[in-house]
Structures are given as structure tokens and as C-alpha cells.
Structure 1
Amino acid sequence: MKNHIIEYCLKKKGATKEFPFGPDSIVIKVAGKMFALIFEEKGLDIRLNLKCDPVIAENLREQHKNIRPGYHMNKKHWNTIMLDGSLSESDVFDMIDHSYDRVVKSLSKSLRESIAEMN
């Protein structure tokens, strides 16, 4: 599933992959702003940090035991999803879409327009 998630993130317009925290953590950004962090710790499930509307974030945490406040992130605006197979790939992709959209909407109009024009 990890590779599918990375591929899905990188299909987003303007998405780039970086390794600022070392080889075990993949940061996916748009216009220099992170919208996904994929990491694994030995012996644990792959984890995915995504930006999220605070109200939606709380609801997701209440509904799913494998969605928690963002690990090493602003816990109001970020969730950590444990990729243990309990969520469908389409649910995870919907959360990625939401994170990407929140970050893009926070960009300046000129940056949003330049991203929209990308193929």
C-alpha cells in the first residue's frame, strides 16, 4: 500500500518528494508546503500524516481507532493514519485529496493558478 500512496500523492499537480528527515520519512509537498508525510518505524505499521480540517479530523479520530492526532505535528490540523489495512485504499486517497486541497487553498492566488496550469 505504501507505494500506491506515494504514487497517488505524486500524481497531484505540482507534487514533489523530499527526504528532509532521513531515508525512512518521505515528505510530499506542493509549492514547498507539506501535505503528506509517510514514515515507518521498525516493527510498526506504516504511518501517514495528513493535513485535515479540525472538525473533520476529530470526527475521523472518533470513528477510526487507527487515526490519531498528528505525530510530531500540530494536533489540531494534522492526523496520523496507521496503515494497518483497516481503512480502504479509497478512504485513504480521499484523505490525501483533502490534505492536498487544504494546502493548495492556503497558497497565494498566483501559486494556485500556476499549479492549475501544470499537466
Structure 2
Amino acid sequence: MNIEDFREFCLSLPGSSEKMPFQAFRAAQSILAFYAGDKIFCFFDIDKFDKCTIKCAPDFIDELKARYNAVDAPYNMNPRYWISIRFNDDMPDREIKYWIHKSYDIVSKNP
């Protein structure tokens, strides 16, 4: 998956938008975040594009980590509710998209 396909997928979810919300932080100026309403459901570093961080239901996190090497704890987010997924690892693109959509659902259903 390339960065443009990934971005188009995230923006294809109803009412989603994108922002670069961390411009005030030198180490995070290249983070692109996708929102459902005013809540982030996915973000990644546009300079690296090596992984994304998404919201995940706590019931699935341990299972996903056990099943895929690509799934790991997120950087600087609560590991009880967020995961990072490395691209081009053992999780297929269609599965990554599935979990991004689930993240979008979690965020959009919890105002």
C-alpha cells in the first residue's frame, strides 16, 4: 500500500477529514491524522509512512498482537485503546483497512 492509496481510503470513510494537528511539536510536525467528527481514528508520519496508529477495542488488542508481528504498542498513546500497525509486514492490506474501518466506527459512534 502506498501513501496516496492509504490516504484516499481513510478519506473515503463518510464524513472523514484530515489534519496535521501536532504542528506545535517539533517531533510530530509530519503527523497526518484522520478524523471522524472531531476525534482521531488513524494517524501516521508522512515522512516515514512505515506504520499507522489506530484506535482498537481492548478485547482485540492482545489477539492481534499474538496473530501479527505487524501489530505493536502505539507510540505516545494509551496501549489499552490504541495499536500501531507496520505496513509491508505480515498483516495484509485488506486486513489493515478492516481495522482502520473498525477504528473509524469506534470513534464515530462515541461522541
Shorter-chain TM-score: which interval? 0.7 to 0.9
Three-state SS of the structure 1 residue aligned to 2:75 is coil
- Aligned partner of 1:33 in structure 2 is 39
TM-score (norm 2): 0.86
Q: Scaled by the length of structure 1, what TM-score is found?
A: 0.80
Q: Which runs of 5+ in 1 are unaligned?
A: 108-119
Q: After TM superposition, where is structure 1 displaced by more than 6 Å over at least 4 residues in a row?
A: none
Quote the RMSD (CA, aligned, Å).
1.6
Deviation at 1:3, TM superposition (A): 1.8
Partner of 2:69: 65
In the alignment, residue 28 of structure 1 is paired with which amino acid?
F
Query: Which runs of structure 2 are paired with 1:101-112 in the superposition (5 Å)?
Result: 101-107=105-111
Is 1:10 matched with 2:11? yes
The one-letter amino acid paired with 2:37 is A
Do the aligned partners of 2:70 and 2:89 also contact (CA within 8 Å) in 1? no
The structure with the larger Rg is 1
- CA offsets 1:28-58 (integer angstroms, 9 cap, x no match): 001110000112565xx61100100111011
Pair 1:53 & 2:54 matched: no
Unmatched 5+ residue regions in structure 2?
24-28
Match of 1:96 among 76, 100, 108: 100
SS at match of 1:87: coil
